[in-house]
Structure 1
Amino acid sequence: MYQIEQLGEDLFRIALQRHLEFSPEALRAPTNVYLCGPAPWALINAGHPSVHAEDLSHALSECGVRADQIDRIIATSWEIDCVGGAQNFPNAELFVLSPDMFAPGDLEMIIERRRAALRERTSELAAALEGFDAGIVHTWLERFYPRQSRALNFVPLRQGARVRAGRLDLQVHPCSGITAGHMALFDEASAILFSGDVALSGLPARMDDAAGYATSIERLAALNPERALPNHGRPFERARWTLVRASRFLTNTLSSAASALFNGPTIVEFIERDRGYELHEPVELLWNFELFKVLFDELVRTRTIQAEGEGVTRRYGVDVDDPRAEVRSAGSNPSSSSSS
């Protein structure tokens, strides 16, 4: 399942639409791989190593390119759906952001850190929420984060470095706040920005530092890009305006979140009540929990709100009550609560 869109001379967006069962909504948008030519051909990102492998191969063939003709892959992050698929192109040279400039790299170690953190959070949610199906989450984690190489050969990139991708002369711009080792790529001549996982509409799929993320958006907007090509979803024209709008959206989200936390909800309560729907899928709940925890902890850091308690029972707001209160709102089963 894929779509091919020609964006310019020898520049194609391959939108890979397949995703795993139970994937959170944030990961259901098409995953973009960009084919840059002419030969020798380059890919911006390589997709998921298993979920996207067959579709990407078919899409390249439709573009008249064989897998063994891919000369290089430039991965915008160390996330599994950016760098993982590089294993399917053994003849291609891999470029990844690596400020310490070490190569080869232990990709499995990086992925295992992510798995382990999500497994730990899953256990906390299962202990606190009655009916939370941790088994579904663990199965999804093992499939989305399959075992990876412990000796990944790559060309390390750092801030300001330039790398060719077909006709494009791309400059590296690290983006903090999303995931470690994330970068955007900018071609000054065409004003094209490969914006990575920066969200051009709404909240990002992943974020580990809200302040760093906000700064990254501002820095990318200062490049005055005309077109933004993200890792997920459709491209955007008027890219600078889109990035400025994304920055304002993040600011407004933080402000409105603070006003919605007047009664000290837990993150689970906020997700289920203030976002206007209930999350019945455990992977969806886990993914949203991780995102909103980053946002709420930023509000605490800036002393916009208070917080009490720890883990999934932590309460955020102006009038924070007993952190040992029930995780869910009034009327829920007391047995589903957990003390911090």
Structure 2
Amino acid sequence: MAELSNFANQLPAHQLVFPPKRLARCCSAVCKERWKKLFIMRIFLPLLALCAGCSPAGPDHSDANPAPTRAFSTQTEAPSPDYAALLGQPVAGGEGRTWEATSSLPPNAKAIGDLWIARLQERRALLGHRLAGKTPDGPVEMIDMGLTEQEFKAWVMENEWRVPGHIRWSFVPEMSRPPVSQAAQGAIRVWPASKTRTGIQLQALFYGKVVLRDGCFFVGFDGQPADKLAWFHSEMGLHVDPAGYFILRDRVSGRTLARLGEDMSWGGPASADIDTETEQALQDACGPGEVYIVGSPEARERFLTQYPHLREPMLPPLLSSTKK
């Protein structure tokens, strides 16, 4: 600081930049000395701060406390809940609506039906349809679609279409539950389910189980490892029950269908719409592997609770022999 003061003393008075009014009142040597020190602080302290910023940095401790790795859940076994009590609970959702035909078939009924079939196929919302008559080229008289009544009304209004009255329209019910509940969202990597609604399915019975391993869903048949990537119908949802187990539930009714890890059964071979984006996310998150459409599995215990007579298979009566 003494060297800086000597440097200031050597400067001409006009370079000290004293404020004129202050300088007029600054007559004593003490006053001028104070202004010299003020000048030194204003000029050289910023330079000292700049040099301090250029000094070598201390040790980097940014990795001393790395962010914890996200942990995903696993559930490969689970006891069956009280399905008798669960089946007695009220149903959350309703049933699908139907618009009955209100007019006879017009002369251009086939062209009208073909147009609506094409529209629904483009939207990936056609679940099925029925033709009038017994020939394969008859006009469409019934359409079963993967849209709710409200979704269909909004779609028609948006495009300013006229709904033909000679066709019977069938709608899917509203879903009352989300695909993955808030309680289960942080536990899984990807929810592997269709985005479009489910149509008519084959009903051959398959047995096995669906498990959750490190945030991924796998399915296996009875007596075989669960090593196939599971894919669900859009009406299936994931939730955590009051006991803390991950459950599969019906998104329409809200009812519990199975706990992950229980013995299950499902109808099949099941079919479903697998969109490319979700399938790619599934393969990236859970590793490459076969994707198996398990559809809408149900716990075997739940099924047997509804049909208790199936617990003990009935044997044919023994034929009594008579002596002659």
**Normalising by the residue count of structure 2, what TM-score does the alignment of the two structures yield?**
0.25
**Normalising by the residue count of structure 1, what TM-score does the alignment of the two structures yield?**
0.24
The structure carrying a bigger helix percent of its residues is 1
